[in-house]
Structure 1
Amino acid sequence: MSLSPAFLDELRARTHLSSLIQKQLKLTRAGREFKACCPFHNEKTPSFYVNDEKGFYHCFGCQAHGDAISWLTDAQGLTFMDAVKELADAAGMEVPAPDPRAQAKAERAAGLYEVMEAAARWFTEQLEGVEGGPARAYLDQRGIDAATRRKFGFGFAPDARLRLKGALKAFGNDKLVEAGLLIAPDEGKEPYDRFRGRLTFPIRDARGRCIAFSARILGPGEPKYLNSPDTPLFDKGRTLFNIDKAGPASRSAGRVIVVEGQMDVIALDRAGIGESIAPLGTALTEAQLGLLWRLSPSPILCFDGDAAGQKASVRAALRALPHVGPGRSLGFVTMPAGQDPDDLLRAKGRTALEELLEKPESLVDRLWRHESTAEPLATPEQRAGLKRRLLDHVSAIGDPDVRDQYRHELLERFNTLTRPRREPWTPRQPWKGGGKFVPQRPTSPRARAVASGGLDPQWSHAVLHGLLRFPEVIAGHIQEIAALPLAEKAAVQLRSTLLDAALVHGELDQEALNTILAQTGAAALIEGLHLRQGLAFSFIRRDADPERARRDLVLVIETLAARPGLDAAYEAATARLKEKFDEVAFDEQKRLRAAREDADRKLATLMMGEGGGTD
């Protein structure tokens, strides 16, 4: 349902924010505002302020910020529409009528909550009865005491086809089938109980209302866990087990932990970790990730240490990539091999689990570890495969700034991993010459300028002109182009546009690039590229041979991209020699100086248009 901005603005204007928050939090006047200890994090000195005139609250400690609607969604766990309806009722406003189909679905759902609560009470009664003995014994074996049973609403479904149906017959078969409690067989046959011979526990929404059940078999058989089917109340891809309790707990703990199964959630809660949540037998969906990011900017995925658990964590990482951004990421904790969180808690206690949770693996680290160990990297083809997989993942990221950071980070790791190793230097006798040794200093002003302030704008403008003329070069040299030490903001933005286009579309031609540049509004950036008189690079000259121009462009890019690293290595060798003469460092400095001079000669030749790229 879509609500107009005008309606929402009027709703906020009619809501007295401090009165709304005062229902849950003791506020103290502070001038024209109110203050209190923040409900979203633990503090002793008030840093949470409410401003009625501006209609927002703000915490200067944890940066929690919002209006009346977000207070109900964040502090009370309501959905957006439920928050709007509650505020509208209090303000005497009528919420615009929804789509008729959505209205009909909402009306059907409203009549099912009572059915589900009645079923939950009946299952609980059966657990405490004579037939519930085996289920109670199983819970005792798992260390689940009576208080935990009550907290999570454990129950028992007797192994009979018509017991629940008979107990809830007042609601009628149609409602019981629609709620997912009965299975309707072929036409003409009577419906029967869905859950039989199983331990049950309710699945609740963010407001704590029972919307479905999960049921564990007590003896042999499949499936081990049986969940309610999708109903007007329940969509398993949009629901998380324990969100009603984990939501408030996560605000106090400053984190939310995602585990694989419901029993893991209960084990963590018994250990004092109440901010845990579990999907319902499926991989994390985009909708579930959205729910998690409402609770924490970086939910911690704590999946089992077996192969299936690790595959699940990778699937979640890939599912999250298109949606990550500043304030939206994931953390990962790997359980010891063959263990789940419940196993670790039983074996070593909460301390062992907390040690893992304190240092979660970042999303970029998890992605890199998965891809860099996926196959051997002994051949050029295997290394190229790794590079392509990494760039494919980067291209999936929607946020341009985060995409740029991932591209830089992953290509830097790839280059470090695949860079050929030099043979170790053979130790030589110390230098025995007379007099004080004075190491040679860098001789190229251009080298010092690049190292300290980035690439000269004329050089960067020339390279970007070349890439605009020969866009087919970009896709094959992404890491070198990304490594160019550009100094101007406009040049950096234009480079990012070109790299993003190549990552998304692969090898570009002139027509495709022109379309992309027009769509991204990069014309102003291109107009800012000015070429100085005297530059004669073949790739900026219309009369140059295209093949030669492309080769020269690649050579200039590779030389300029490598230059900062060459300069840094030269300066490091020089610094070592200033402290103490070492013949190994002396030879290294000599080799690096020669490499720098060779790079200067190449660039000078190319700059004059003399064709350093010919075969």
Structure 2
Amino acid sequence: MSGRIPQAFIDELVARADIVELIGSRVPLKKQGKEFKACCPFHEEKTPSFTVVPDKQFYHCFGCGAHGTVLGFLMEHDHLTFVEAVEELALRLGLDVPRDHHGAQRPAAPGEDLYGVLSRAAALYQAELKNSPRARKYLEDRGVDGQTAAKFGLGYAPESWDFVLRQLGTGERERSRLFAAGLVIRREDQRPGASGFYDRFRDRIMFPIRDARGRTLGFGGRVLDRGEPKYLNSPETELFHKGRELYGLYEARQASRSLTRILIVEGYMDVVRLHQAGITYAAATLGTATTPDHLARVFRLCNEVVFCFDGDRAGRAAAWRALENALGQVRQGRQIRFLFLPEGQDPDSLVGAEGRSAFEARLDGAQSLSEYLLQHLSAQV
């Protein structure tokens, strides 16, 4: 969105923010009198010299000189632009960012026009779900109710080669945008009179993948009946990078402004069913191993991550890859734990069978990183 952010709103945002809560979700703070201290996140040190002063709403490091408000911390620690930091803080506080449109408008950011294309596609898929008894029955059979489907913006891509093309690809420029957004595929064998593109997603339940602001970046599609692949993701685009995004993280943040734990699972439906059961801090990787970027994003929000995997060989192999990537994120105050489910079960089926309380009891008994590491190494001897 273009337009200047009013200074009065920025001042109000900083005044209303809990600087201790925000910094404490990223750095382990210890109370000392009226202040809070920690080892500085901006330089290496063994003796804490980083101080947060809640009464004056600022932080200061006596070692490296880092100093600022809650917005400055977000920019420095999370590597955000000023506008991104304002939007991030406003999201945490449940506020909409106002814009002053009297001045000159800024030029559109790269890829910004793709957000509109993806939003319109998501709306089309959602409308088509309402028109498809077969797709709705599939979700009902999987235990997903209407309220949860609406919360996640679930939709249906009909069994058509040109559903999106006909609706949104009326001209060459529009078709090029659909291609750039990953919604259509370019034909290799161009036939006379035929369109140069066809729909990527056909006969699939559609899961919109959203960024921190709730904008659709891409989709995951689950085939309704038999077909390959069972799950199909959007390709890498200017907006969508599956090694950075976690499905359900936006919904988790909407459910709680102050997350204390993130549960990382493997599937879209796992996330949907867990949220429906009340475990609203679940998120999923997008058909790829957990990456350092995933973990960095999670640890900006909370200090505890629990990986949940199937108990079979594939699940344990995935857990080991997650552990390897997690080692670089180990810090004082952070918890990284592993939960292995009974063989033949996944979070979707298990939470449906035993409910929230029993599933969370399993989470409370999850292995620590060190316990899992020692167990794995012992098994190799």
Return closer, same or farther for 1:72/1:174 CA change in 2, 3 Å cut-off.
same
Choose 1 or 2 for highest CA Rg.
Answer: 1
2:185 paired residue among 162, 183, 186: 183
SS in 2 for 1:107: coil
Q: Does 1:209 align with 2:215?
A: yes
Which residue of 2 is the match for residue 119 of structure 1?
121
CA distance in 2, matches of 1:152, 1:117: 13
One-letter identity of the residue aligned with 1:67: V
CA distance in 1, matches of 2:353, 2:346: 11
CA distance in 2, matches of 1:35, 1:186: 56
Which residue of 1 is the match for residue 32 of structure 2?
none
Deviation at 1:360, TM superposition (A): 2.1
Describe how 1:270-349 pairs up with structure 2 within 5 A. Answer: 270-349=276-355
Which residue of 1 is the match for residue 202 of structure 2?
196
Does the Cα contact within 8 Å between 1:241 and 1:278 map onto a contact in 2? yes
Query: Quick one: percent identity of the two aligned structures?
Result: 39
Does the Cα contact within 8 Å between 2:292 and 2:325 map onto a contact in 1? yes
SS in 1 for 2:212: coil
Which residue of 2 is the match for residue 363 of structure 1?
369
SS in 1 for 2:188: coil
Q: Does 1:68 align with 2:96?
A: no
Deviations 1:519-571 (A, max 9, x none): xxxxxxxxxxxxxxxxxxxxxxxxxxxxxxxxxxxxxxxxxxxxxxxxxxxxx
Q: Does 1:221 align with 2:227?
A: yes
CA distance in 1, matches of 2:159, 2:57: 59
Describe how 1:156-167 pairs up with structure 2 within 5 A. Answer: 156-167=156-167
Does the Cα contact within 8 Å between 2:308 and 2:339 map onto a contact in 1? yes
Return closer, same or farther for 1:370/1:67 CA change in 2, 3 Å cut-off.
same
One-letter identity of the residue aligned with 1:354: E
CA distance in 2, matches of 1:320, 1:51: 31
CA distance in 2, matches of 1:222, 1:154: 20
Which residue of 2 is the match for residue 83 of structure 1?
84
SS in 2 for 1:153: coil
Does the Cα contact within 8 Å between 2:222 and 2:231 map onto a contact in 1? yes
Which residue of 2 is the match for residue 497 of structure 1?
none
Return closer, same or farther for 1:71/1:323 CA change in 2, 3 Å cut-off.
closer
CA distance in 2, matches of 1:35, 1:263: 35
Structure holding more helix per residue: 1
SS in 2 for 1:237: coil
Deviation at 1:328, TM superposition (A): 3.9
Does the Cα contact within 8 Å between 1:17 and 1:56 map onto a contact in 2? no
Q: Does 1:20 align with 2:23?
A: no
Greater relative contact order structure (CA < 8 Å, 6+ sep):
2
Return closer, same or farther for 1:313/1:251 CA change in 2, 3 Å cut-off.
farther
Return closer, same or farther for 1:360/1:66 CA change in 2, 3 Å cut-off.
farther
CA distance in 2, matches of 1:365, 1:221: 40
Structure 2 length-normalised TM: 0.75
Return closer, same or farther for 1:367/1:251 CA change in 2, 3 Å cut-off.
farther
Deviation at 1:54, TM superposition (A): 5.4
Give ranges in structure 1 of 5+ residues lacking alignment. 1-13, 26-33, 41-46, 58-64, 93-102, 376-615
One-letter identity of the residue aligned with 2:58: G
Deviation at 1:286, TM superposition (A): 1.2
Give ranges in structure 2 of 5+ residues lacking alignment. 1-6, 26-34, 37-51, 61-67, 90-96, 101-105
CA distance in 2, matches of 1:73, 1:142: 43
CA distance in 2, matches of 1:337, 1:198: 27
Which residue of 1 is the match for residue 244 of structure 2?
238
CA distance in 2, matches of 1:304, 1:176: 36
Structure holding more strand per residue: 2
Does the Cα contact within 8 Å between 2:10 and 2:86 map onto a contact in 1? no
CA distance in 2, matches of 1:343, 1:247: 24
Does the Cα contact within 8 Å between 2:253 and 2:259 map onto a contact in 1? no
SS in 2 for 1:212: strand
Return closer, same or farther for 1:300/1:15 CA change in 2, 3 Å cut-off.
farther
Deviation at 1:22, TM superposition (A): 5.3
1:174 paired residue among 168, 173, 176: 176
SS in 2 for 1:116: helix
Return closer, same or farther for 1:50/1:244 CA change in 2, 3 Å cut-off.
farther
One-letter identity of the residue aligned with 2:265: V
Return closer, same or farther for 1:54/1:178 CA change in 2, 3 Å cut-off.
same
SS in 1 for 2:303: coil
Deviations 1:214-264 (A, max 9, x none): 000011111110000000110001111011122354654511110111111
Describe how 1:122-521 pairs up with structure 2 within 5 A. Answer: 122-129=124-131, 132-170=132-170, 172-186=174-188, 188=190, 190-249=196-255, 252-375=258-381
Which residue of 1 is the match for residue 64 of structure 2?
none
CA distance in 1, matches of 2:275, 2:350: 14
Structure 1 length-normalised TM: 0.48
Return closer, same or farther for 1:255/1:134 CA change in 2, 3 Å cut-off.
same
One-letter identity of the residue aligned with 2:380: A
